[in-house]
Amino acid sequence: MTHRKEGRSKHPQGTKQMSVNTAATRDSDLIARAGREIWERRKVSLRRRLDGSAIRRRISAIDSLINLLEERHLTGERSFDRNLRQQLYGLEHEVGVPLPRKAVRARNTVRLHAALLDWQETLLDALRPERLRFADVHDTDWSTPTPLGW
């Protein structure tokens, strides 16, 4: 016959229950922290994507006018008419940045084209400074490359 003494067990029931509760609390704290980290990363990712799409819209607006000018140049049309000037001033509103002086003062579409390309490059540098890490980002040497081995 086994005799047990009341209250003198090696691992009292209360201690075991406390450690289970402590472990559960620690686990739920870790899960909550992981959930917060995931949420923060999702917010940062969404913000980055929204910023990127806003930048793309601004650059794309300039690109559209540049493409129009290039199409006109292919047909030999270089006049700077009222419709084109309205599109230019509409571009200022779309991009949200004042037009550069060179674009406003351009007297023909060739100069306007060059001014818009410069403006687009300036905006890209300002909105995406990481692109400045590339050595050839402002490379203006468009000469014919020398073939390998020459």
Tell me the average pLDDT across 75-79.
87
Residue-range domain boundaries for the chain? 57-130
Residues 110-144: tens digit of each pLDDT: 999 999 999 999 998 888 888 777 776 666 666 66
Q: Which residue has the higher pLDDT, 41 or 148?
A: 41
Spatial neighbors of 61 by CB under 8 A, at least 6 apart, are 91, 94, 95
- DSSP line for 80-133: --HHHHHHHHHHHHHHTSPPPHHHHH--SHHHHHHHHHHHHHHHHHHH-GGGGG
Most confident range (mean pLDDT) of 14-18, 102-106, 130-134 is: 102-106
The whole-number pLDDT of residue 99 equals 94
Contact between 72 and 116 (Cβ < 8 Å): no
What's 6's DSSP letter?
T
The whole-number pLDDT of residue 71 equals 93
For the cut 70, the answer to whether the pLDDT of residue 10 exceeds it is no
Burial of 109 (0-12, 13-18, 19+ CB in 10 A): buried
Question: How far, in Å, are 33, 63, 115, 141 from residue 56 at the CA level?
Answer: 34, 10, 19, 26
Pick the range with the lowest mean pLDDT from 2-11, 43-52, 108-117: 2-11
